[in-house]
Amino acid sequence: MALYSEKVMDHFRNPRNVGVIEDADGIGEVGNAKCGDIMKMYLKIEDDIIQDVKFETFGCGSAIASSSMATELIKGKPVSEAMQLTNKAVAEALDGLPAYKMHCSVLAEEAIRSALEDYYRRNGLSLCKETT
């Protein structure tokens, strides 16, 4: 059995949405000191919809694949839906990750949440309405 699914390998070899959004509405950066992975997410939001999302990731193949898949899962979605994204959903969309690489999907979730929180801060919005 292969260590990584075909989807993980595809998103690692051909990552989607790589880059920077210069005039981003929200930016989030997270890292894992234990493994050294760092993820940075950029969001462009119009009318409460994520119009564009880009990422920069320094890390292993699982970290790159998780970043890529996470961006695909939230692009074109309402902010409220993106805020509900879980690491489990990222891992499932990749057809699974080895247990010792699940922290990569957690980083992707945290990077998106951090970028969304930055968007809320910049716009003077409260996160409370998203948790109801």
Taking Cα atoms as reference points, which of 125, 111, 85 lies closest to residue 32?
A: 111
Taking Cα atoms as reference points, which of 55, 62, 59, 65 lies closest to residue 31?
A: 59
DSSP letter string over 36-77? --EEEEEEEEETTEEEEEEEEEES-HHHHHHHHHHHHHHTTS
| Phi, psi (rounded to 5 degrees) for 65 | -60, -40
List active site positions.
35, 104
